[in-house]
Amino acid sequence: MQKPNNYDETPEGGEFTPVDLGGHKLIIKQVSETKSKSGKDMIVVLFDFAPDDAQPGYFTEQFKNDIRPDKKWPNQATQYILTEDAEGKCNRSFKTFTTCVEHSNTGFTTQWGDNFGAQFKNKKIGGVFGEQMDFYNGKEVRKRVMRWFVSLDKVEKAGIPETTETKAYKEYKGSAQSFYDKAPKDADGFMNIPDGIDEELPFN
């Protein structure tokens, strides 16, 4: 048997390279119009890292390697943006998206009307990734998520955002803290361990 093409460069199954934190150059794959669960207008933006980014084609590769029959574009490369805020005015995140696309593509101006999303396909834009703490399936999870869009000229100088927490993680932390607060403690703040259960402590 001859060695297959690109054998030495092909990663082994199970290998995983995380998304680099900070700024990335993106290419928009698709923008579609839809409704949120509460019936509000929103757009769904699918993107990948651009050919001139440090991790080009990262999410396309993820999608290709997903063997599930119902596979979808990676959630990490999908943004849901409401077009209006709670007061019925233009949502700042939506305006940020369209403005960043305009600033990143010379001569491009957002066109309003039917088939709105089609104009954004293959347009360039920047994005900034940061860490986010989540609680899922009974475990704490540290994720790397796209925090906000920027124009391409802001990518190189973009810093790494502070770590955020999902609602699920905050609720998990709150319940854990509540348990700690209610547990009996001695004067120095340590939880009291009832007599007779020393053998159950994992470090004994």
pLDDT digits (tens, 9 = 90+) for 95-144: 999 999 999 999 999 999 999 999 999 999 999 999 999 998 889 999 99
Q: Which tokens in the block code for residue 12?
A: 């082994």
123/64 Cα distance (integer angstroms): 22
163: number of Cβ within 10 Å: 11
- What is the arithmetic mean of pLDDT over 141-154? 96
Contact 28, 101 (CB under 8 A): yes
Contact 165, 132 (CB under 8 A): yes
**pLDDT classification of 5: cutoffs 50, 70, 90:** confident
- What is the arithmetic mean of pLDDT over 12-39? 89
Residue 14 pLDDT more than 80? Answer: no
Please give the model's pTM, rounded to 2 decimal places: 0.77
Across all residues in the chain, what is the average pLDDT? 86
Q: Which of 53, 63, 4, 59 is nearest to 24 (CA)?
A: 53
